[in-house]
Structure 1
């Protein structure tokens, strides 16, 4: 631990000692002016009109129009609603720049004057309130800012930029859909892939990226608990799946505390539980939906095996017959998102030099979020990836929360909010700095 702290301190000192470059000062000024003149309105439009995964037709249309206006070759309908914009500028590396665009089925309760009141029918035929509860509206707005700036300074770099507007990140399905639709075959395999995410738990004006694990791997698990239906007044005549499911939910929390090493992070969350129709009827089934998170394949495999064992064992312990076993279905899952160490070290250093003292800070994984960006940079692709986070909450709000004021809402919360101008402008500046490092003319 002491050695890690010394390394982190040395990194922080090395990063903070870098003066900002003159060309970034010009970029910062240009992007902030762009935000005030048009990007702010674009962000508000995106925020007030969020769309669910694979249903982002309006958002995709606006992004396609904005990238065309910036001078890019644009293709729509890639992997469903995905958009690809190509900017060719002579010989050099091909760099993929990705931004996700989908919202969530969450009713916004942030109290913001521009809060979303939108609703949308999802693929299940049900209508939901919708909200950008994860900041994807800032990502796509920053992409427009990045494209405009790189077009305006094209004399400073050489190569091909592939702007990927990705659908359905929240379903961890959009990246695979675009790849299955021939993204790399149709537009060229990139030499590098870049992306960023706004972070509510990091203060504005800060950028951070790991030189290894950036996001956790995740697997969805469905558990069907059968029962024997009966009258609620005569539970002894049946087998209560709600009670059995409740025991399973509780027992699953022992996996982290008693079966996995404390040095190996893992999360088992039951996010959905459905059963029954009336208070006086014991139903014939209960259904659970889980998300499981881990930072390595061994821990994930052990956790999934424990879920199967615990669920089956509790079913038997409560008298379910052999022909009515608890059924556990393991989903496909998403691998760990890991930055290429060499690329991350290079771009962290370049960003520190470009963005100025104290902007780039050492990365500390603060949650076990997962990302489907990992598919763009999976080992079999041979594409090195770099994913960074940009601070989204002002120091004043963070200080107020620390002093006992309103807590900072996490991602996917109906209370979620970030500072849009600070997040968008710094995200775009950082992305421009990364591109100039990889494709800039020396």
Structure 2
């Protein structure tokens, strides 16, 4: 028997204005904006929320948007979409590709905003079927890990209703039409670390008079790869990526310093602390071995917390998704090494469910080499790729996932 939430969700989304949603999505995709500069995107979302009857506020935490719809007694449910784009030059060749050189919605946040706008309109139009309060959040700066915390610090839960539960979703690669739910840990913690290696500069013809920080940095990059392979247990998951190495100005000048930026992904605080300690030790050891005049500077930067779903909340949302889309479409992909700042919105330990919506066009998926899901996932355009192009067929389903998830948490009213 289909639950009331599933039946209502199907009713409220039966006649979604898909062409209008497609136009909205294409417009957002053409005009990407970087973290904390999402002024146009925020304005477009706010306009849709106001039109749908929400009490709408802009400028929360910088460029954040909130929409509140009070509809009688019942739970307060937060629905969130992140809004920022990336410094990526788009190479999709789409007719609605980014018109801003060097910027692209390469992570699907334009799709998330469209889903939220569509869900807002459907839930407002069907308010006679549910009771409670909706708090819709257009969040800036997810990519930098700053946006959610800034909104909370700006009084998100003092100025607006404090939610009883939070819901969020993300577009990911995979054949369009699957919904990934994992009770408990679903996304990992992420930590950025900068290392400055201090050498002694000199002329390229007389290396014996210098201490070359470039050579030391190269040894350090190589040695850091042993942190995961030799200092993290085989049953624990961790990733260490050196994403940037900078040094020097001319081919014949030995520079005085070299800079390394790396990223650590872990699924527990214990492994994170162990890896940071190992990075500090290895950096100090390599610099000492090279005779550097000073110890390296190791700076721990921005961090994303792990995303850990409340098991019961996730179970309820997954169950309604299975009813709406079919049991075969809902799967448990297990924890991923990607990271999110969504948990910052759960200030004080609020329960939440966060899930994935696969969005690779079927023709792209079918043409990808490989026989199974893991093999194909390694070859289709992924999030942050200049070729990342979600299938527009996911627009209506992505609205339904939010609507049905919200209805599973809100009070039910008789139509």
Give 1:369 deviation, angstroms.
0.9
1:188 and 2:161 are equivalent in the alignment: yes
Aligned partner of 1:227 in structure 2 is 199
Aligned partner of 2:75 in structure 1 is 93
Residue by residue, what CA displacement relative to the aligned partner does 1:372-429 show, whole Å, maximum 9, x if unpaired? 0011125xx131011011011133322211259993112111121111x222221110
Taking the aligned partners of 1:23 and 1:75, their CA distance within structure 2 comes to: 28
The alignment partner of 2:368 has SS state of helix
Contact 1:19 1:353 in 2 (8 A): no
* 1:350 equivalent among 290, 309, 320: 320
Aligned partner of 1:35 in structure 2 is 18
Aligned partner of 2:393 in structure 1 is 422
Unmatched tracts of structure 2, length 5 or more? none
Give 1:226 deviation, angstroms.
0.9
Contact 1:20 1:354 in 2 (8 A): no
Aligned partner of 2:305 in structure 1 is 335
Aligned partner of 1:386 in structure 2 is 353
The alignment partner of 2:192 has SS state of strand
Contact 1:145 1:428 in 2 (8 A): yes
Taking the aligned partners of 2:319 and 2:10, their CA distance within structure 1 comes to: 17
Aligned partner of 2:145 in structure 1 is 172
Taking the aligned partners of 2:204 and 2:382, their CA distance within structure 1 comes to: 39
Give 1:19 deviation, angstroms.
13
Give 1:28 deviation, angstroms.
4.2
In terms of mean alpha carbon deviation, does 355-364 or 256-265 score higher? 355-364
Q: How does 1:121-136 map to 2 (within 5 A)?
A: 129-136=102-109
Aligned partner of 2:44 in structure 1 is 62
Taking the aligned partners of 2:269 and 2:52, their CA distance within structure 1 comes to: 42
Aligned partner of 2:410 in structure 1 is 439
The alignment partner of 1:368 has SS state of coil
Contact 1:275 1:286 in 2 (8 A): yes
Q: How does 1:4-403 map to 2 (within 5 A)?
A: 21-31=6-16, 34-36=17-19, 38-119=20-101, 129-200=102-173, 202-321=174-293, 324-365=294-335, 367-378=336-347, 381-402=348-369
The size of the alignment, in residue pairs, is 407
Taking the aligned partners of 2:277 and 2:11, their CA distance within structure 1 comes to: 55
Taking the aligned partners of 1:20 and 1:152, their CA distance within structure 2 comes to: 15
Contact 2:3 2:320 in 1 (8 A): no
Give 1:173 deviation, angstroms.
0.1
The alignment partner of 2:211 has SS state of coil
In terms of mean alpha carbon deviation, does 398-407 or 240-249 score higher? 398-407
Unmatched tracts of structure 1, length 5 or more? 1-16, 120-128
Give 1:71 deviation, angstroms.
0.9
The alignment yields a C-alpha RMSD, in angstroms, of: 1.9
Residue by residue, what CA displacement relative to the aligned partner does 1:44-90 show, whole Å, maximum 9, x if unpaired? 11001000001111111111111101111001100000010001111
